[in-house]
Amino acid sequence: MKALDIKDLEKRYPNGVEALRSVSLEIEEGEFFGLLGPNGAGKSTLIHCTTGLAQPTGGSIEVFGNDAIDHYAEARQAVGLAPQEPNIDWFLTVEETLDYHAGYFGMPRKERRQRSQELLETFSLVEKKDERTRTLSGGMKRRLILARAMMHRPRLLILDEPTAGVDVELRLELWHYVQKINQEGTTILLTTHYLEEAEQLCDRIAFIAEGQIVAEGTSEALAERFGVANLEDAYLALVGRGELSRSHIETAPEVEA
């Protein structure tokens, strides 16, 4: 079954900007899928269209067979989103943030308590559970939005640049956690600027540029398609900055003093 099936998706903003141009994408259930592209390529818009935060102007999105517009409740129930920008409610404590999120998804109280306890421990937030979210550090906020995204046990977890600006410890913790839940059956859609992260974690990767999917496949297949040695070089070729390749830097002649 397809976890996400996007066909000819278009998004044109009222100011005329075409953020997505006939994007088609299929992600199989249980897959770990990476979406890479430069800033402004359309990654977040695609995610927002999938989660109901943006309204497509054309095409269709199906989440586990449910149309994201006509059957939005079923579609959204299956998705957990950790957005790029921490969008936390300042009035709530850490524990309330998790509890309320699960309530929005209809989870009964007893189950909410158990689940929030589990995630507070997983993300080392137990000591912070009664603190107001606005007093948290950047790293703690990032932990919280990841825990919140997983609170209602989504079948499709969307991580929009989850490791941007986080320390090595959290990054590795997150890698381990998402690999674990992926092995347990959760489908993951990851956007990241860290190519080694995508290379290591993702089964398949798509490159998006100027609102269009320009290439798709395993990291090896993408490297082969661009005629280069690895995913990073394939990405640099995509954005037209092949001269920045590490292979060029490593073989560059020494500059005399």
Which residues form the interface with other proteins (CB under 8 A)? 13, 45, 48, 51-55, 72-74, 76-77, 79, 81, 83, 85, 87-92, 96, 100-101, 103-108, 148
101 CB burial (10 A radius; 0-12, 13-18, 19+): buried
What's 128's DSSP letter? G
The alpha helices in 60-210, defined as continuous H runs, are: 72-77, 94-104, 109-122, 138-150, 168-183, 195-201
Minimum distance from residue 161 beta carbon to other proteins (Å)? 15
Minimum distance from residue 13 beta carbon to other proteins (Å)? 7
Minimum distance from residue 55 beta carbon to other proteins (Å)? 5
Whether 20 contacts 42, CB under 8 Å: yes
Q: State which residue, 93 or 212, has the beta carbon closest to other proteins.
A: 93
Q: State which residue, 83 or 162, has the beta carbon closest to other proteins.
A: 83
Q: Are strands 204-209 and 66-67 parallel, antiparallel or unpaired?
A: unpaired
Minimum distance from residue 11 beta carbon to other proteins (Å)? 8
DSSP letter string, 33-68: EEEE--TTSSHHHHHHHHHTSS--SEEEEEETTEET
Q: State which residue, 90 or 249, has the beta carbon closest to other proteins.
A: 90
Q: State which residue, 82 or 228, has the beta carbon closest to other proteins.
A: 82
Minimum distance from residue 99 beta carbon to other proteins (Å)? 8
Q: State which residue, 24 or 84, has the beta carbon closest to other proteins.
A: 84
Taking the CA of residue 167 as centre, how many other CA atoms within 13 Å lie in the half-sphere pointing to its CB? 8
